């Protein structure tokens, strides 16, 4: 009987295995996932779609022997139908029931499909899983030439970027809001990306939405889309990239509380004792917004899974929260952003920004603390900014340096930079391991 049962086989689930094994080398672990593959890099499906990377060990998130080495029993391609939290077991769609002592719900997100006609037509795809990328690739190799991408967020841009590698493919990107990439960029940076997209030949429609997918003449396949202004766009493929929502269905009928995502405490434990949650399916404390939010980014999933794993194995690790941490690498543009990078007026923040040529820097300050940043074109020092934000360092004495071209550790007050360098990467808060669990290598 597995002591630890993990539902979900991506960043959060793998992190939990790695943390559990640091504490408990023996306790049995089982992972269930409805995807039939070992954990792979989800963002790498973009390279798979471009044809640059086959599905081999280079796409795997961990070495091929990860599961055997960590003695993890895998149930891949199997779905959990429901949870019996009182009886501590999970009922699978293959008829099995897996008992647990500690359960982790690392179920991730599921693509949002706005209600509209035509989504069941052949040629409508999401772009979240390897199988999505396989289906899209097949359609493109079969000659699809006109693609409508619905949603101008990170996934929509990633999909567009991959599609542009196919010769002769015409992409139309439709975004409901007035600009693309609102979850990771401010207006000036969004506009830079939009200008680049247009230059690359993408037809960009902002402030527009798709209200229906239209069939072709025989009626089984996609023939076009209908926009909210009544215009019809003919196309062969539709990529749905409106967003993802936490996948929390398993909580139905259980004591596990859900708002937008699974609600967890600082130990990543849900309202049901022994049941933990992390990643895109869970809410986290955002230390900039001071609120519980779903921060659906890979690093947060990994850190949450790691903290959950330590706690599941009996070590009281505490998660002190996170905030947005974004990187963008498409269309030959590099961008990094974090925290409250595009504050509402009522936040009463001050902003410093600097623009020169292809480089744009902006920091957002509140009460002498850094609360957000955007860097475009020169992003190497973004992690230093993130840390200043995370540790709520008073930056008033050096704030003008934060947007300087040569910003870096040397621009910080000497005692601060020397303390950071001396601590050997045991950053003294936020998601650190319990005492003694930090990695100390053999001398």
Partner 1 sequence: MKRVYPAEEFCVACRLCEVYCATEHSQSRDVIRAFKEEQPPPTKRIFLQQEGAASLAINCRHCDEPRCVWACVAGALTKDPVTGVVNYQPEKCIGCWTCLVACPYGVIVRDPNRPKIAKCDLCPGRDVPVCVAVCPNRALVLS
Show the CA angle centred on residue 272, arms to residues 321 and 4, nearest 5°: 85
Q: What are the DSSP E strand ranges found in 184-313? A: 203-206, 210-215, 222-227, 232-234, 237-240, 244-246, 275-277, 284-286, 291-293
Nearer to partner 1, 90 or 288 (CB): 288
Say how far apart CA 322 and CA 288 lie, in whole Å.
Answer: 8
**Interaction between residue 427 and partner 1 (CB under 8 A):** yes
Contacting partner 1 (CB under 8 A), which of 86, 410, 415, 435?
Answer: 410
Say how far apart CA 208 and CA 214 lie, in whole Å.
Answer: 17
Q: Is 141 helix (H, G, I), strand (E, B) or coil?
A: helix
Contacting partner 1 (CB under 8 A), which of 92, 226, 327, 393?
Answer: 327
**Interaction between residue 65 and partner 1 (CB under 8 A):** no
C-beta of residue 103 within 8 angstroms of C-beta of residue 254: no
Full DSSP string of 235-281: -SEEEE-S-EEE--GGGTTSS--BSSSB---TTSB-SSTTEEE-GGG
**Interaction between residue 199 and partner 1 (CB under 8 A):** no
* Beta carbon of residue 232, minimum distance to partner 1 (angstroms, whole number): 36
**Interaction between residue 28 and partner 1 (CB under 8 A):** no
Q: Is 105 helix (H, G, I), strand (E, B) or coil?
A: strand
C-beta of residue 256 within 8 angstroms of C-beta of residue 272: yes
Contacting partner 1 (CB under 8 A), which of 328, 340, 341, 369?
Answer: 328
Where does this chain touch partner 1 (CB under 8 A) — which range of 52-60, 95-103, 141-149, 196-204?
52-60
Contacting partner 1 (CB under 8 A), which of 65, 344, 405, 424?
Answer: 424
Contacting partner 1 (CB under 8 A), which of 37, 55, 289, 420?
Answer: 420
Nearer to partner 1, 199 or 440 (CB): 440
**Interaction between residue 260 and partner 1 (CB under 8 A):** no
Residues written for the chain: 443
Nearer to partner 1, 61 or 166 (CB): 61
* Residue ranges that bind partner 1, judged by CB under 8 A: 11, 15, 41-44, 46-47, 58-62, 298-299, 302-303, 306, 325-329, 334, 336, 338, 379-384, 386-387, 406, 408-411, 414, 417-418, 420-422, 424-427, 431-433, 438-443
């Amino acid at each position: 009987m597995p002591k630890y049962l993990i539902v979900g086989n991506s960043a959060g689930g793998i992190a939990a295995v790695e943390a559990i094994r640091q504490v408990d080398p023996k306790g049995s672990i089982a992972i269930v996932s409805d995807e039939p593959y070992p954990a792979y890099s989800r963002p790498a499906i973009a390279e798979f779609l471009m044809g640059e990377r086959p599905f081999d060990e280079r796409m795997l998130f961990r070495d091929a022997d990860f599961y055997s080495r960590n003695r993890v029993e895998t149930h891949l391609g199997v779905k959990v139908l429901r949870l019996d939290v009182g009886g501590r077991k999970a009922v699978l769609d293959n008829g099995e029931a897996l008992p647990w002592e500690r359960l982790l719900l690392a179920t991730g997100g599921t693509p949002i499909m706005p209600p509209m006609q035509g989504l069941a037509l052949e040629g409508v795809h999401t772009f979240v899983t390897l199988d999505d990328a396989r289906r899209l690739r097949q359609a493109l190799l079969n000659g699809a030439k006109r693609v409508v991408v619905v949603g101008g967020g990170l996934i929509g841009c990633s999909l567009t970027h991959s599609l542009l590698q196919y010769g002769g493919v015409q992409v139309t990107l439709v975004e409901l809001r007035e600009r693309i990439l609102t979850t990771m960029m401010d207006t000036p940076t969004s506009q830079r990306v939009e200008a680049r997209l247009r230059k690359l030949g993408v037809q960009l429609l902002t402030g527009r939405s798709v209200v229906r997918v239209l069939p072709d003449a025989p009626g089984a396949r996609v023939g076009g889309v209908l926009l909210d202004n009544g215009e019809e766009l003919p196309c062969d493929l539709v990529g749905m990239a409106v967003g993802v929502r936490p996948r929390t269905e398993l909580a139905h009928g259980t004591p596990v509380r859900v708002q937008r995502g699974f609600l967890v405490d600082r130990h990543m434990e849900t309202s049901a004792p022994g049941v933990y949650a992390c990643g895109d399916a869970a809410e986290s404390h955002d230390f900039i917004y001071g609120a519980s939010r779903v921060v659906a980014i890979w690093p947060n999933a990994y850190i949450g899974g790691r903290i959950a794993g330590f706690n599941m194995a009996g070590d009281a690790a505490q998660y002190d929260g996170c905030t947005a941490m974004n990187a963008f690498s498409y269309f030959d543009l590099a961008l990094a952003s974090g925290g409250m990078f595009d504050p509402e007026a009522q936040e009463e923040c001050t902003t410093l920004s600097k623009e020169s040529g292809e480089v744009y820097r902006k920091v957002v300050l509140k009460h002498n603390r850094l609360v957000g940043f955007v860097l475009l074109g020169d992003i190497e020092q973004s992690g230093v900014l993130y840390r200043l934000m995370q540790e709520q360092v008073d930056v008033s004495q050096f704030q003008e340096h934060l947007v300087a071209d040569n910003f870096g550790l040397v621009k910080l007050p000497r005692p601060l930079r020397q303390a950071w360098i001396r601590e050997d990467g045991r950053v003294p808060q936020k998601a650190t391991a319990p005492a003694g669990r930090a990695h100390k290598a053999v001398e």
